[in-house]
Amino acid sequence: KRPLHLSFDIDALDDLEVKSTGTPVPGGLTLREGLTVVEKVRQMGNLVSMDLTEVNPMIGTEEDVKRTANVSMRLLLSAFGYYRGGVSTKPFP
């Protein structure tokens, strides 16, 4: 019931998901797994803040930067209640 802060280090995701990060991790989390983590934390009802770390647009190609930015946005939107699909009892307004 206490306020919760989520610090999500984007390089926890597999290097196939994000390349514009300081420490790409082969065999890291899939995007689906990362989204599930954020969704489950949000569903607890006490998430008050979140930061997303290790995003570095100075690393990688333009396509790598765009993909990393897209993945970052999806993770942040999940913290605000955006669902990737299916039926939800708490839809994003």
Reported as a single tens digit per residue, the pLDDT across 2-47 is 999 999 999 999 999 999 999 988 999 999 999 999 999 999 999 9
Name the helix (H) or strand (E) containing 41: helix 31-43
48-88 confidence digits (pLDDT tens): 999 999 999 999 999 999 999 999 999 999 998 887 765 45
Residue 52, sorted as left (phi over 0), alpha (psi -120 to 50) or beta, turns out to be beta
Predicted local confidence at residue 12, as pLDDT:
96
Could you tell me the end-to-end alpha-carbon distance of the chain, in angstroms, rounded to an integer? 24
